[in-house]
Chains A and B, each alone.
Chain A
Amino acid sequence: MTPNVVILCAAGMLVSAFLMVGQKSLFTTIRLYGAQSLLLATVAVIMAISDHRPHLFVMATMTTVLKGFVIPLFLMRVVDRIGIHREIEPFLNVPTSLLACLGLTVVGYRVSTGFPEGTVGVTHHVLGVGLSTLMIGLFLMVTRKKAISQVLALLTVENAIFLVALGITSGMPLVVELGIFFDVILAVVVLGVLVRRIVDRFESMDVSRLSKLKG
């Protein structure tokens, strides 16, 4: 039963990434990111129980609290203060984006078969999903114009890296994981401050306007 739940949660993360690609409302995208983090935490909890790795519980708790709730709430507050709620027009339209991401998923699965752990069973799917989500995150980063959307894309990439870490190594050493969490929180705060400064200056968070520096 447990392997199926892991696969289900991992697949849920991939679905949430696809939904982000098709979504223009910033609030919904932030909620999707929160849901994705909760799914990641679930994967960690199940692995902690089935593989008897208690330190994964710490990671799961941190993921739930910080990425499931604190970061999404912080980002929602930023969006609320700014008063801009929608991604206007991404560089690529939604159907084309979805097709491109479908292709990226195939590539992700193909790459995952190269790992010694990646050919069979649960890890195959976890790695496949992790790498696909990673590439979808990168795709979102280059196609979105709103600063907050880019931040969310970055956070999605980071979630995907954690999923890959879970699939391939059952998690990094605890101290390192805590350090990474600390840095991520700090990065989100810095990004939030910078987004607000940009909005104050430009009265928009359309980063395609940041195009004065060339050459």
Chain B
Amino acid sequence: MTLLVWTLLAPLLTAALGAVRASRKVEEVVIVGGLSLTFVLCLATASQFLAGDVPSAFNDALRVDGLSALVLVLCGFVGLLSASYGIGYIRRNDARGLVTPGLRQEFSVLTPLYVFAMLLVSVSNNLGILWIAVELTTLASVFLVAYHNRDTSLEAAWKFLMLGSLGLGFALLGTVLLFASAQGALGEDLPALHWTQFMAHATELHPFTLRLGVVFALIGYGTKAGLAPMHTWKPDAYREAPSPAGVMMAVGMLNAALYCLLRVHLISKAALGPDFSGGLLLTLGLLSVLVAMPFILIQWNLKRLLAYSSIEHVGIMAVGIGLGGEAAVLGALLHMTYHTFAKPIAFFSAGTLAQLHRSSDFSEIGHGTLGRAPVASTLLLLATLFVTGSPPFSLFFSEMMILRAGFLGAHPVATAVFLVALVILFCGFAYQIGRLVFGEPPAAADRATPADRETLDLGVMVTLVAALVAVVSTFYLPGPLMALIRAAVSVVSGVS
């Protein structure tokens, strides 16, 4: 069996082992060990690609090109990071007697399963398998959203599943129509749905059917990515999901869904020219940034604030891709990479604050967290600098790249609107976090029980590691990673 197959089997086996009831220690070792192995295998697959090989399996149904390799590595990284934080998260809840063995088991099965589905998405060369894998990510994450089994978690899980399924219905219809647009030119067996086949026969596709298919597929996968106006599940799901699962949705799933959008976009670009799907992505991206704006300004909940920030960032990436051209695409893919490194700090530190105060509502946490939880608050401030795109941090550079390409390209007006929205979002987000961290603490701030005091536990340690990775990546991206980004850019902008 090839390396690629093992890369996918590793998280699957981890999930199977996670289903065995064992002591907490054993479960922790299994999940972190399994996902570390997965990450190493992802790296090995990517380096196999960089060595000039094209790792593939099952008659090219799974195939790793530059784009796949980049998303694969990023998803593997996020999986390992959030599982490690997840252990700290569960330990904290355990200390308060909130964890049953069943809940622990649920976490150690669903997390690797979710990672498996994301990795499968990122190496799918077949549009059918891609769809199946995205549906798997949805099903694996529903019960992570419903994890705490509160009224609101069930509401969020229900909305998440209904909207997600509806989006996937659209994506399925889009896939059917894309398949139909080939009018039998690609045959009827599995390879007929291979992305590489579509690209090779792009000029033979029937335009009307293809257009309709592209619209449905972009809306469908856009729902999973959380592009406005299909974003409404996101704030609810992020608020209710435990923070480790939130990170996997906000970073891993976002990258995987963006991967789907890119694949569809590339078929459309090769067959219909860059303007059709590019224009659609630009519009949806801009709309996402604009929609996030008012909700960030009036936000009442820390995790929902992060959700709207995630809608903003997927919007920024969609704008970058929609603008087209090598510079904008490089900006978008760099943004994806930097965002993958930066967002976990925000989720982990926010998760720590929410756990200490047993709620993520601003009113429950109370202002002036700096005094009560100095480490988590400082990390949250650092995360704020990252996700708002402040100089000199990484996301500032990728945003500048997209803006520059936008002003020099064909859409200066849209870029100007985009820039204004980004500035307002920056102020809004910084205002909310500033108020939370520095504000006047409430009178009853000392009510905390010993379990609610901040300690340097595993969760905080993992957050520190994430912060270290993000800061280092700002100034230094390792050569192989940069090579992967370049390879991904050439996949996306090479075919014009």
The chain A residues found within 8 Å of chain B, CB to CB, are 53, 114-117, 134, 138, 141, 147, 150, 154, 157-158, 161, 164-165, 168-170, 172-176, 179-180, 182-183, 186-187, 190-191, 194, 197-198, 201-202, 207, 210-213, 215
Q: Judging by beta carbons under 8 Å apart, are A207 and B154 in contact?
A: no
Q: How far is the CB of B19 from chain A (nearest CB, A)?
A: 16
Interface centre among A114, A164, A172 (most CB of B within 10 A): A172
Distance between Cα atoms of A180 and B176 in the complex (Å): 12
Q: Main SS of the interface on chain B?
A: helix
Q: Judging by beta carbons under 8 Å apart, are B173 and A164 in contact?
A: yes
Q: Judging by beta carbons under 8 Å apart, are B154 and A197 in contact?
A: yes
Q: Judging by beta carbons under 8 Å apart, are A169 and B179 in contact?
A: yes
Partner of B161, one of A158, A168, A191: A191
Distance between Cα atoms of A187 and B160 in the complex (Å): 13
Q: Judging by beta carbons under 8 Å apart, are A165 and B176 in contact?
A: yes
What is the 8 Å Cβ interface bit string for chain B, positions 131-156, against chain A (1 contact, 0 not)? 11001100100110010010110111
Known contacts A116-B208, A168-B176, A172-B179, A141 near B166 by CB under 8 Å: yes
Partner of B128, one of A157, A176, A182, A211: A176
- Chain B residues with Cβ below 8 Å from A164 are 173, 176-177
Distance between Cα atoms of A190 and B154 in the complex (Å): 12
**30 A-B residue pairs with CB within 8 Å:** A115-B180, A115-B206, A115-B209, A116-B183, A116-B206, A141-B166, A157-B166, A157-B169, A158-B172, A164-B177, A165-B176, A168-B176, A168-B180, A172-B128, A172-B175, A173-B190, A173-B193, A174-B190, A176-B132, A182-B132, A190-B142, A194-B142, A194-B154, A194-B157, A210-B159, A211-B155, A212-B151, A213-B235, A213-B236, A215-B301
The chain B residues found within 8 Å of chain A, CB to CB, are 126, 128-129, 131-132, 135-136, 139, 142-143, 146, 149, 151-152, 154-159, 161-162, 165-166, 169, 172-173, 175-177, 179-180, 183-184, 188-190, 192-193, 206, 208-209, 212, 235-236, 239, 295, 298-301, 304
Partner of B152, one of A53, A207, A212: A212
- Chain A residues with Cβ below 8 Å from B152 are 212-213
- Chain A residues with Cβ below 8 Å from B190 are 173-176
Q: In the complex, what residue of chain A is closest to B130 when comparing beta carbons?
A: A176
Q: How far is the CB of B323 from chain A (nearest CB, A)?
A: 29
- Chain B residues with Cβ below 8 Å from A191 are 161
Distance between Cα atoms of A154 and B165 in the complex (Å): 8
**Interchain Cβ contacts within 8 Å, total number:** 127
Q: How far is the CB of B18 from chain A (nearest CB, A)?
A: 18
Q: In the complex, what residue of chain B is closest to A182 when comparing beta carbons?
A: B132
Q: Judging by beta carbons under 8 Å apart, are B169 and A173 in contact?
A: no
Distance between Cα atoms of A201 and B153 in the complex (Å): 11
Q: Judging by beta carbons under 8 Å apart, are B128 and A175 in contact?
A: yes
Known contacts A147-B158, A180-B172, A215 near B298 by CB under 8 Å: yes
- Chain B residues with Cβ below 8 Å from A187 are 135, 139, 161, 165
Q: A176-B128, A182-B132 are in contact. List 12 more A-B contacts (CB 8 A).
A: A114-B208, A134-B173, A138-B166, A157-B169, A164-B176, A165-B176, A172-B176, A179-B129, A180-B172, A194-B142, A202-B151, A211-B155
Q: Judging by beta carbons under 8 Å apart, are B139 and A183 in contact?
A: yes
Q: How far is the CB of B155 from chain A (nearest CB, A)?
A: 4
Q: Judging by beta carbons under 8 Å apart, are A176 and B193 in contact?
A: yes
- Chain A residues with Cβ below 8 Å from B156 are 213
